[in-house]
Structure 1
Amino acid sequence: MKEERYSIIFSSKTGNTAELANAIRDALPQENCDYFGTSEIEEPVSEMLYIGFWTDQGNADKSALELLQRIKNKKVFLFGTAGFGENEAYFQKVLNNVKSSMDESNQIVGEYMCQGKMPQAVRDRYVKMKEQPDHMPNLDLLIANFDRALSHPDKKDLDKLRELVRG
């Protein structure tokens, strides 16, 4: 039986989702890859698509969403990163939002999300907000989340993704 052809298509603002895309590429036979790169691709030819995104306000980023709305009759493995998280319920909510943007003719064959590091400017903004007398009460939690996210995606995140992709 001939091994399935695939493409790995992703959008990555800070490099986190690109790390996941590279882990997927490492886990699969290179000779079967039709395309590896950004989600600006017009029409992917592969039957099997690994589509990656970064999280923007609880959904995939605009570029990934536009791709997901265009494709039809494909097998899709979704993967993404979110600065906020460490929480499977939040990740599942994001994935559900992403899936609701896809054409129903596509078949979801897998999904994976993990936390990703955020730009230092985010933490700086939280610290500055704390200086205000009437600041949000959850700023300490947001700063702690930022600090935890700095190491992600880590080896454990990438190994888990490779394992999922290999099936």
Structure 2
Amino acid sequence: MLEYLVLYNSQSGNTKNLAASVFSALPGNSKDLIDITTEKSIPEARLYFIGFCVHRGTCALEASNFIQSLTGKDIALFGTCGMGNSPEYYKMIEQNVSIWINDTCRYLGAYLCQGKMPLQVRNKYETMRTDENSEQIDMFIRNFDMAMTHPDTEDYQKAQEFAIACISSADSSI
């Protein structure tokens, strides 16, 4: 059994990069980094870091199915999302995803950050813009533009700090 397993689901590469950052912060050699959508044989671990990209306020089916399958494990969540960049939005996402964690598991928390979106999203916003919705669409476009640099160095650093804090929390209860 591994000490740590970092699993992720990434469509744009944002969560994959964040997963690599989490993985690099984990001590020792008893660890692995796996794309949950391509690997069918997932090893057992003591502590699972499960990463996901956000769509419609939650994680992809592959991630939720895996989260549901775990029992008696320590679990930490992390993810990236294009929309938002607010603690309230991140808290809502965390609640929507953590609901899949079995009661026999110990939930250690979540780290979420903004991630860049494909240019098609900005183009879609621009074509949706009307006089009636211009304020909201302009806000979406500003958010899109701010997200283009994320995850950034600070996001990766915070993800690593989160991972170390999760390890400390898990270790303190052994």
- State TM-score, norm by structure 2: 0.87
Q: Is the 8 A contact 1:43 1:71 kept in 2?
A: no
In percent, how many aligned pairs have the same letter?
31
Matched, 1:36 2:27: no
Range 147-156 or range 58-67, more displaced: 58-67
Specify the code of the residue in structure 1 equivalent to 2:36: S
Q: Of residues 135, 138, 149 in structure 2, which corresponds to 1:151?
A: 149
Q: Is the 8 A contact 1:85 1:114 kept in 2?
A: no
After superposition, residues 1-167 of structure 1 pair within 5 angstroms as: 5-33=3-31, 35-40=32-37, 41-130=40-129, 132=130, 134-135=132-133, 137-167=135-165
Matched pairs, number: 162
Gaps of 5+ in 1: none
In the other structure, the counterpart of 2:171 is: none
Structure-2 change in CA distance of 1:152 and 1:161 (3 Å): same
Whole-angstrom CA distance in 1 between matches of 2:97 and 2:43? 18
Q: Is the 8 A contact 2:5 2:49 kept in 1?
A: yes
Residue 142 of structure 1, CA deviation: 0.3
Partner-residue secondary structure (3-state), 2:110: strand
Instruction: List structure 1 segments (4+ residues) > 3 angstroms apart after TM superposition.
Output: 40-44, 132-137
Residue 29 of structure 1, CA deviation: 2.4
Q: Is the 8 A contact 1:9 1:37 kept in 2?
A: yes
Q: Is the 8 A contact 2:101 2:107 kept in 1?
A: no
Residue 103 of structure 1, CA deviation: 1.2
Whole-angstrom CA distance in 1 between matches of 2:87 and 2:45? 30
Whole-angstrom CA distance in 1 between matches of 2:92 and 2:48? 21
Specify the code of the residue in structure 2 equivalent to 1:39: I
- State TM-score, norm by structure 1: 0.90
Question: Alpha carbon RMSD of aligned pairs, Å?
Answer: 1.6
Gaps of 5+ in 2: 166-174
Q: Is the 8 A contact 2:4 2:26 kept in 1?
A: no
